[in-house]
Amino acid sequence: MKGAYYTGEYRNIFKELGYSEEEVNKKIESAYHTIFYGHMEDRIYNEVGDDMAYFEDTGNFDARTEGMSYGMMMCVQNDWKEEFDRLWKYSKTYMWMEDGYNSGYFAWSVQPDGTKNSYGPAPDGEEYYAMALFFASNRWGDGEGIYNYSKEARAILHECVHKGSNGKPGSPMWEPSNKLIKFVPNCDFTDPSYHLPHFYELFALWANEEDREFWKEAAKVSRDYLHLACHPVTGLAPEYAHYDGTPITKDNRHRYYSDSYRVAANIGMDFAWFGVDEEQRAIADRIQTFFCKTAKGKIDRVYEIDGTILDEMALHPVAIIATNAVASLAASSMDNIKECVDLFWETPLRKGNRRYYDNCLYLFALLSLSGRYRIWK
């Protein structure tokens, strides 16, 4: 199977299952409105002055590069240039670090007024920033200064690969010896949910020419890595793992918990866009089978990756439901696909303080399953 990058055709799982285009579009528009312009207790997008805005992690009362870059991706997919530029200007104004050990990276967490909570970066933010900026460049064209989107994206990726080389301070975000993304630059392990081979394939086309082969290889090794990190029976991945795929046991990071959920969605999206890794179908089938059979009725719990269901409630149960549904883009069992997608359809956006992470993954799921999460060339 060739993915949408080659065919230009994006699979619409909702349509395949009988949902009408009208009701799907209405659900997507409602989610965008709620997240960006809903009531204070529902939205996570907040404007600052005349030309900036931030996405708030409503459970931790801060702005994170994860959410800021997610918000930018949501905007470019919906042709919202003003909101995109507001989020990007806030990011460059308050989160980008001009000097110091981590210069050229973005502080992963700041207070709503822009005060940095940390001077450390998180690589999942950088990779989403770069991809959103490339899409913005291709969809809207480059502007001046920080709105020269493709130039900004290339600069981010250059730092990610080369920081710390030639005697300069700092550490790269990808481990040079194996081309795997790190959890943070100065560590020697990874987060399986950070692995986005479908992004790296595009970086291999649009990054600085001298780095394109690096990104091509990064896409391959990340796909191979996920084969190791995902459990051979359940398909579940730990939150953090060593470079050989074995889980990090410290602080319970070996479990299927908050970060882990994104792996199912990432596998679905990589298969939808490129369709080059047949093993992703098997992994998606294992994940959906686990939740449709073993964990049926208990999709709000914490799990060991071997499928043991723990007597502990998940922090982000809506995120589990959303990402299980996105795995349908790679899965092969229509019975499981229908069960996972129907459950997602029937699940509303989350309310309350913990809504940020769940609702970001919820909106991405709506876009992915409707064929509206697109590559902008």
The CATH number that applies at residue 85 is 1.50.10.10
Do 314 and 241 lie in a common domain?
yes
Note whether 222 and 371 are same-domain residues: yes
> How many domains in the chain?
2
73 and 30 in a single domain? The answer is no
67: domain range? 45-172
Residue 343 has pLDDT above 90, yes or no: yes
227 lies in the same domain as 365: yes
Residues 214 and 290 in one domain: yes
Residue that terminates a domain, selected from 122, 145, 172: 172
Q: Which of 143, 172, 201 is the last residue of a domain?
A: 172
Note whether residue 34 is domain-resident. yes
Task: Determine, yes or no, domain membership for 363.
Answer: yes
Q: Which helix (H) or strand (E) holds 181?
A: strand 180-181
Taking only the tens place, the pLDDT of each residue in 87-120 is 999 999 999 999 999 999 999 999 999 999 999 9
Is 66 an annotated catalytic residue? yes
Confidence check: pLDDT of 55 > 90: yes
Give the pLDDT of residue 168: 81
Of 57, 62, 66, 201, which one is the catalytic site residue?
Answer: 66
Counting Cα atoms < 13 Å in the Cβ hemisphere of 148 gives 7
In a domain, 89, yes or no: yes
Taking 80 as the threshold, does the pLDDT of residue 1 lie above it?
no
- Selecting among 62, 85, 259, 358, the annotated active-site residue is 259
Beta partners for 256? 303
pTM: 0.98
Beta pairing partners, 57: 62
CA distance 265 to 286: 13
Q: Specify if 300 maps to a domain.
A: yes
The lowest-confidence range among 167-171, 176-180, 193-197 is: 167-171
| 184 found inside a domain | no
Identify whether the C-beta of residue 369 lies closer than 8 Å to the C-beta of residue 354: no
pLDDT score of 166 more than 90: no
Inform me whether the pLDDT recorded for 266 exceeds 80.
yes
d(C-alpha 238, C-alpha 195), whole Å: 13
Same domain as 375, residue 236: yes
Do residue 3 and residue 93 come from a single domain? no
Residue 254 shares a structural domain with residue 148? no
- 359 and 220 co-located in one domain: yes
* Whether residue 301 is found in the same domain as residue 371: yes
| Residues 92 and 20 reside in one and the same domain | no
* 68 pLDDT above the threshold of 80: yes
Tell whether 13 and 82 lie within a shared domain. Answer: no
Is 188 domain-assigned? no
Looking at the domain assignment, is residue 62 inside a domain? Answer: yes
Q: Is residue 204 part of a domain?
A: no
Task: Count CA atoms within 13 Å of residue 281 on its CB side.
Answer: 9
Asked if 31 contacts 366 with a C-beta cutoff of 8 angstroms, the reply is yes
